[in-house]
Chains A and B, each alone.
Chain A
Amino acid sequence: MKITVEHLNFYYGAKKALTDISIEMKANEVTAFIGPSGCGKSTFLRTLNRMNDIIPGARVEGSVKIDGADLYASGTDAVLLRRKVGMVFQKSNPFPKSIFENVAYGLRINGMAKGRELAEQVEASLKAAALWEEVKDRLHDPAMALSGGQQQRLCIARALAVRPEVLLMDEPASALDPIATQRIEELIYVLKKDYTIVIVTHNMQQAARVSDATAFFWMGKLIEFGPTPSMFTGPREKLTEDYITGRFG
């Protein structure tokens, strides 16, 4: 098991956002989180790289282990941890710098490469994100000038550059048109050979297409979790079935 979560509770101040979540995610698999808006998918995803630490008043109970090491143990360095767990956001959020500098950023701040080696790793990351061919002649153009789909793949390249083991994606294609979405999905399929991927999505077809396992959340609780095919063909819970068939949410 790559990621093991046990009895996780999460609070925004006094408000409880996640209740008693236990789940296990396998290495080199894509796990999809589905559920109605506000059910806590993003919150849960962000507990996996301690991104919620920066929200004032946020509090976590229970344990999250990656490769057996507890993220919230007192000795864990959140800064080092986040490097191992990459993240791609709902809206593409490139830095207002050049394409090259966006990908190089993580390598630079972590002192992972410089000079020729830096350029090689930037190239490798852009290739891994299936963006290289489109940008190789304009690496020093501003990232903001790329199309929405290209920007999102740039953000994936930026996350891959620091060689994470886990990749968290929060609705990575929700702001994109069908063609750009399809490219991201193809990319996810390729990337899972090297990474453990967790993806939040509102799109049932997308979850069915890209994921190996699916978790259904409802009001801060994990209602059902299992292999994607059986989740979509024969859900155990009534709530899951209602949601998948579009009866609510």
Chain B
Amino acid sequence: MKFRLTTGAIASVIVFIVAGIAWTLWDQAALAIHKFGWQFWQTSIWDPVSGEFGARPFIWGTLYSAILAILISTPIAIGIAVFLSDWCPASLRAPLVFVTELLAAIPSIVYGLWGIFVLVPAVREFQVALPDWIRAMPMFSGPPVGVSMLSAALVLAIMIIPYTSSIAREVLKSVPATQREAAYALGATRWEATRVALHYARTGIFGAVMLGFGRALGETMAVTMVIGNNPQVKWSLFAPQYTMAAVIANEFSEAADELHLDALVEIGLVLFAITLIVNVGSRLLLWQMNRERKPKQRATAPAEEAA
């Protein structure tokens, strides 16, 4: 009883803090919210000098880069998780887990520097090497500058792999041994047994991917360094673009007038809302998977079938 009261109190404090942050942001963004309304998210001109603020390119850049990042990272992260949980020899497991966990500990700015010196030139060379007919397609068009949506997506992908893979590994580990054994007993190969485990864990794995997505949405420093910081809505992977987090980081300290500042805070408010929803959603999925499976395992209803 006492324990429940304490956790309840802590939980409500946290909810209170989150609501407080949201309210502060809302309050600080009031000018922009009132002046532009929904227009703010529908226009694409961002010109602090003339007082024109349209945030569409930023929300586009944030969502596009994060979605590309999970498309790239998910197969790799799940591959790593499957390898570590089902395939690699026990003696290799600990060092490999250590290395992937280490990747998560590298500061964002270091990824950014690596991106500038290694990834950006590589992307530029890759673009130049592409045949003309590919470069004519909207997805791959534009001058070869290197700093681009693709560079950002690649850096993000590398940064979220450790998160997604370590949660996916936990999820795979929590699959009851009898699931894999049931498959083996029916003549499954090792790979088929792994697929059974993946299928069993699918909700949790989706949660792991969403958690990675949440991180990608909010990631700031490394993206700012490689994306090119150009507010435009483009499909092209090679076009320099911009994200919500990046524009706040770049412009906040120099924002001279009230409206500019409020516009940046409004972007922050929406970024906060999106990441909150994605994070809560993925936690719920992971939690649901743990809860859903357990009671049904011992489904020994005394009310046997009415046959």
Give A residues with C-beta under 8 Å from B.
49, 51, 54, 56, 79-80, 82-83, 85-87, 89, 91-93, 95-97, 105-106, 109-110, 133-134, 144, 146-151, 155, 158-159, 161-162, 175-177, 179-180
Q: Is the CB of A93 within 8 A of B192?
A: no
Q: Which of A79, A146, A161 contacts B188 (CB 8 A)?
A: A79
Closest B residue to A95 by CB, please name it.
B196
Q: How far is the CB of A94 from chain B (nearest CB, A)?
A: 8
Q: Is the CB of A109 within 8 A of B178?
A: no
Q: Is the CB of B301 within 8 A of A96?
A: no
A-B contact count (CB 8 A): 95
CA distance A56 to B90 in the complex (A): 8
Residue-wise interface mask of B (286-305) relative to A, using a CB-CB cutoff of 8 A (1 in contact, 0 not): 00000001001111111111
Q: Is B256's CB within 8 Å of the partner chain A?
A: no
Number of interface residues of B (CB under 8 A): 30
Q: Is B39's CB within 8 Å of the partner chain A?
A: no
Closest B residue to A93 by CB, please name it.
B178
User: Which residues of the partner chain B approach A179 to less than 8 Å between Cβ atoms?
Assistant: 304
Q: Is the CB of A148 within 8 A of B187?
A: no
Q: Is the CB of A54 within 8 A of B180?
A: yes
Q: Is the CB of B199 within 8 A of A91?
A: no
The 7 closest A-B pairs by CB, nearest first: A83-B187, A106-B186, A87-B185, A148-B300, A93-B178, A147-B301, A134-B307
Starting from the known contacts A147-B304, A159-B186, A175-B298, 10 additional A-B residue pairs (CB-CB under 8 Å) come to: A79-B189, A82-B185, A91-B297, A95-B183, A96-B200, A109-B189, A147-B301, A175-B300, A177-B300, A177-B302
CA distance A134 to B300 in the complex (A): 17
* Interface members, chain B 166-214 (any A CB < 8 Å): 176, 178-189, 192, 196, 199-200
Q: How far is the CB of B82 from chain A (nearest CB, A)?
A: 15
User: Which residues of the partner chain A approach B296 to less than 8 Å between Cβ atoms?
Assistant: 144
Q: Is the CB of B181 within 8 A of A89?
A: yes
Closest A residue to B301 by CB, please name it.
A147
Q: How far is the CB of B203 from chain A (nearest CB, A)?
A: 9
CA distance A87 to B177 in the complex (A): 14
User: Which residues of the partner chain B approach A177 to less than 8 Å between Cβ atoms?
Assistant: 300, 302, 304
